[in-house]
Structure 1
């Protein structure tokens, strides 16, 4: 199995960033997996923290390069959660700020699902429960994996997270040499 983890890649342009698959661990211990699917869409899985087990595909996002090798991504989820991520892949780090509505802080289990199949549930909870004050979680993270998945690869985030998944990905046991999921 080829080593998919390309931690030595140098990022200069927006095209260098698009199609990249990341795993990172926030300083608070929360582990996330995130994929720059194209210039307006992201997919992600959450492996640790208050909403571990949540996964989302085709989330519309604003993706820009601030300056060479530094990228900002922001979006609002159907839950009402706002997210702003700053990636510095050449330094192996990123910073994320997550703005959780009050209802997600109080009922995180509602969001722990494949969101795309439960948008109505997210909208209902957003209307039913309090949204303010928001829980603001700003954290630095260490990037532990960077894979060149290519753009619009639906195999990158295509199943719910399981306990050993980040290690399987980092150890080259999850994707084949074409960045397609093994063990379908």
Structure 2
């Protein structure tokens, strides 16, 4: 059930897969991230220079570092590289985002549902400079963990809006089966 996750019980990959997180980096950027399965994630960005961006079915590398500590890495079509270390029991994430120069200089190009605009990402990646990369190494505080289950397409399913993360934390976004409330069939 949503929001009823005991973070201390997330020790193995099988425990981590299907979990949905909201977290805020120390720099104030708020992100939402869902471990859809052992090879893909989905996410929405609610604050920071690419606020409003969202992605589904991003290919990832997922590893258990130690009991309750997980590393996820991926490279986006933008050329952005991401490395995240999740420590749910500590309520922390350590992340490094390696933004290409063009994303740092033109973040507005990436603020969309990326899956429907891959050509735009590839075009910008070729048109603009990649280096030097803009590094964002930060710790984040986890403010929500939900158990959405694996392969749930209702978790990250629409453009982020102001107040969405509060709606999720307050139980207004998903029903008891972790389906988006507005998409629930009567």
Match of 1:146 in 2: 145
Deviation at 1:12, TM superposition (A): 1.2
Shift of 1:129: 0.2
Look up the SS of the partner of 1:161 in the other structure. coil
Which residue matches 2:6? 8
CA distance, structure 1, for counterparts of residue 114 and residue 150 of structure 2 = 21
Instruction: Give TM-score scaled by structure 2 length.
Output: 0.96
Q: Distance in 1 between matches of 2:144 and 2:4?
A: 7
Note if 1:182 corresponds to 2:181. yes
Count, aligned residues: 182
User: In structure 1, how many angstroms separate the alpha carbons of the residues matched to 2:54 and 2:4?
Assistant: 23
CA–CA separation in structure 2 for the residues paired with 1:6 and 1:89: 13
What TM-score, normalized to structure 1?
0.97
Structure 2 residue 74 is matched with structure 1 residue 52: no
Structure 2 Cα separation of the partners of residues 108 and 7 of structure 1: 34
Kindly indicate whether the alpha-carbon contact (under 8 Å) linking 2:18 and 2:36 is maintained by their aligned counterparts in 1: yes
Residue 5 of structure 1, CA deviation: 1.4
Q: Alpha-carbon deviation of 1:7?
A: 5.0
The Cα RMSD (Å) is 0.9
Q: Which runs of 4+ in 1 moved over 4 A?
A: none
**Residue 124 (structure 1) aligned with residue 140 (structure 2):** no
Structure 1 residues not aligned, in runs of 5+: none
Aligned to 1:26: 25
Matched-pair contact (CA < 8 Å) for 2:5–2:147: no
